[in-house]
Homo-oligomer: A and B are copies of this chain.
Amino acid sequence: MVSTRIEVDYLLETHGEVQRVAEFMAGEQSSGTFVAIPGETPELKERVAAQVTRLEILDHAVEGPSLPTRVKVESEARFKRAFITLSWPLDTLGPSLPNLLATIAGNLFELGSVTGLRLLDIRLPDAFAAAYPGPQFGVQGTRRLAGVEARPIIGTIIKPSVGLGPDETASLVNELCSAGIDFIKDDELQSDGPACPFHLRVEKVMRVIDTHAQRSGKKVMFAFNLTGDLDQMRRRHDTLLKHGATCMMASLNSVGLVGMIELARFGQLPIHAHRNGWGYLSRHPMLGWSYTAWQKIWRLAGADHMHVNGIGNKFAEEDSSCLASARACLAPMFTEKPCVVMPVFSSAQAPRSAPATYQGLGSTDLIVTAGGGILAHPKGAAAGVEAMQQAWQAAVAGVPLDDFARTRPNLRHALEMAA
């Protein structure tokens, strides 16, 4: 049976009566109003009203509210938490991603009776799959362009983040290509600033990449950050095509949903989607978005690679959360249109990260970007790249890294360096 309902799971906190608050949320986000009004007929409700289809109150009521509210709370009130699911008929809005956001993630985060609300997951009817591009390259298309099969795509990020000119960038790319890297990306701060104009960077970098490709047969994938206004992104995309680039990068929270959908529609290259800004959407556990829910929006919009942070990262996020995000990227969204994308691991990635990453993900379908983990190798970057590859061989074979390293000096040096 084809589902025609949109279902969304939330974690709710309230000092009110949970069922009542959940029903109020459903009303507010469909046909309801604060007060009943004449136009809200039974027929209209049947057509467009949202329903509460699940409500599971959690044991641990808490003493204080997670989020402040102007609504007066009796001093003895306790704040209950619950998993709830709201379900909308597709006809409330039609298969529109922008309108979906306003419906499932709109005003309800501001409700006075809500002292915590986190959007945990989304299930969409097939009509959404038909209406949006989804990843045009995904795992297989990316592997084909990068020429990497059956292991992670091993990459790095141009550093310093911003400030290098086109020639300096190309020179660094030259070193990295010589080292056997699969993938390089711009930092999210680097797009088309005066210090490093986009078209010049592309021209110089692609010349280097092509020279190496002619020599070795391996064309390194470079994700050029084309984030900008729409006309700028169009021009930059054309520049990428002209110079034979194989990947484009965009910052999701900078471009926004409509811009990303448009980029996916006119774009002819894999979209490397950067999640910077994710912290303000997610960092408080009782507010905002879970990555599991959020990444579905962008996959359907057309992202091919999604950043998920990394094991042992330098940020605030726990490893278990990174791994859950990455698994979500590989879980099919629709039967006919799985929209599977490559998770991108970054931040403090090194050979040591491989076993836990593989154990947590159960797949080698990922991009891992390492900076110091590759470049600081005592025998140079080529040894650093080899050590990363060997660490993944060990991880997949289930052999402890240190055992595997005994006959592989480059991996051994890498592990010693990190210890």
Q: List the interface of chain A (C-beta within 8 A of B).
A: 28-35, 37, 39-40, 44-45, 47-49, 66-71, 90-94, 96-99, 101-103, 105-112, 114, 117, 119, 159-164, 168, 172, 188-189, 191-195, 227-230, 232-233, 251, 253-262, 274, 276-281, 283-285, 287-289, 309, 313-319, 348, 371-372, 375-376
A99 touches B227 (CB 8 A): yes
A371 to B251, CA, bound (A): 39
Residues of B within 8 A of A112 (CB): 314-316
In the complex, which residue of chain B has the Cβ closest to the Cβ of A93? B193
Q: With A48-B163, A93-B193 known to touch, is A102 a contact of B277 (CB < 8 Å)?
A: yes
Residues of B within 8 A of A90 (CB): 194
Residues of B within 8 A of A33 (CB): 159-161, 371
A403 to B105, CA, bound (A): 43
A67 touches B110 (CB 8 A): no
Q: With A93-B162, A109-B279, A228-B99 known to touch, is A68 a contact of B251 (CB < 8 Å)?
A: no
Most buried by B among A40, A47, A279, A309: A279
A316 touches B371 (CB 8 A): no
Residues of B within 8 A of A274 (CB): 102
In the complex, which residue of chain B has the Cβ closest to the Cβ of A45? B163
A303 CB, nearest partner CB in chain B, Å: 14
A348 to B274, CA, bound (A): 39
Q: With A93-B162, A191-B93, A192-B94 known to touch, is A276 a contact of B44 (CB < 8 Å)?
A: no
A189 touches B30 (CB 8 A): yes
Residues of B within 8 A of A260 (CB): 256, 258
- Give me 6 other A-B pairs in contact (C-beta within 8 A), A93-B162, A99-B254, A110-B279 excluded: A92-B189, A102-B277, A106-B188, A107-B315, A229-B258, A284-B287
> Which one of B163, B279, B280, B288 contacts A44 once the chains associate, using CB atoms below 8 Å?
B163
A33 to B99, CA, bound (A): 39
A125 CB, nearest partner CB in chain B, Å: 13
Residues of B within 8 A of A168 (CB): 39
A283 to B70, CA, bound (A): 12
B257 touches A70 (CB 8 A): no
B39 touches A262 (CB 8 A): no
Most buried by B among A69, A232, A283: A283
Q: With A162-B48, A289-B280 known to touch, is A34 a contact of B314 (CB < 8 Å)?
A: yes
A319 to B287, CA, bound (A): 22
A102 touches B47 (CB 8 A): no
A287 touches B283 (CB 8 A): yes
> Which one of B28, B94, B228 contacts A98 once the chains associate, using CB atoms below 8 Å?
B228
Closest 3 CB pairs of A and B: A256-B256, A109-B279, A258-B259
Residues of B within 8 A of A92 (CB): 162, 189, 193, 195
Residues of B within 8 A of A91 (CB): 193-195
